[in-house]
Amino acid sequence: MRLVTTPRVTYLRGLAEEILARYGRGRMIVAIDGPVQSGKSALADDLAAVLEERDHAVFRARMEDFHRSRAAQAEFGADTPERYWRYGFDESALRRSLVEPFRLAGSAAFVTRVFDPARDAWVEPKWLTGPEDAILVVDGRFVLRERLADLWDVAIAVDGDPVDPADVLAYAHRDPRSVADVVVSLADPAYPLSIVH
């Protein structure tokens, strides 16, 4: 379905062209990082819609849906920003349930959600399959951290300085803007633009 052309959609079409020019075939994963409430999830949703407009099979996942339970986090000590930054997400489940089977293509099934952080409960997995050529768009806090860097084909960071204590720690260790392929300013969300750092 053709999207209504707005400055935001026009920008994202250009970004999609750049992405597809580099990784046009097979399975591709785009990761979008940024501070809390930076607009990264909405950007990921809209980029996915633009890629779908180009008749690509597109799947969406959020790091929020790969949280560890509160009990599992408690095993790593007191509830602090550092504990959340280091252990808040179940990266093993992300790799095992989503990234690795998605990369296998063919008949391998994957899930885009394993946990509901609001209910602090596991969710019934919905196993998905896709064609050989498919794109997965993942957004979330800390997705561009060093230990996940090998998972992504395209790394996008939303510009903005961290305010949340866990984000401050993450950015002090590895600022996603310094490692991203593209840094997007959403100072005016209706008029995003790529910036050079």
User: Residue 197 pLDDT more than 70?
Assistant: no
Give the model's pLDDT for residue 107. 78
Residue 38: which region, alpha, beta or left (left: phi > 0; alpha: psi -120 to 50)? alpha
CB of 31 closer than 8 Å to CB of 61? no
Tokens 């599992």 sit on residue: 72
How much is the mean pLDDT over the chain? 94
| Those residues with Cβ within 8 angstroms of residue 161's Cβ, 6 or more apart along the chain or in another chain | 35, 171
- pLDDT class of 55 with cuts at 50, 70, 90: confident
User: Residue 75 pLDDT more than 80?
Assistant: yes
In this predicted model, what pLDDT tens digit does every residue of 88-122 receive, in sequence order?
Answer: 999 999 999 999 999 998 778 999 999 999 999 99
The Cα 37–Cα 190 span in angstroms is: 16
| Those residues with Cβ within 8 angstroms of residue 28's Cβ, 6 or more apart along the chain or in another chain | 19, 134, 135, 136, 153, 154
Percentage above 70 pLDDT, the chain: 98
pTM of this prediction? 0.95
Kindly list the domain boundaries of the chain, sorted by start residue. 7-186
- pLDDT class of 16 with cuts at 50, 70, 90: very high
- Average pLDDT (176-195) is 96
Smallest CA-to-CA distance from 49 within 4, 110, 18 is with: 4
Residue type, 153: D
- Average pLDDT (125-153) is 95
Give the model's pLDDT for residue 95. 97
The Cα 54–Cα 94 span in angstroms is: 27
Give the model's pLDDT for residue 105. 82
Smallest CA-to-CA distance from 135 within 63, 52, 53, 62 is with: 52
Task: Tell which CATH classification among 3.40.50.280, 2.40.10.340, 3.30.70.1450, 3.40.50.300 matches the domain 7-186.
Answer: 3.40.50.300
Give the model's pLDDT for residue 152. 97
Give the model's pLDDT for residue 25. 78
- pLDDT class of 24 with cuts at 50, 70, 90: low
The Cα 45–Cα 99 span in angstroms is: 18
Residue type, 71: A
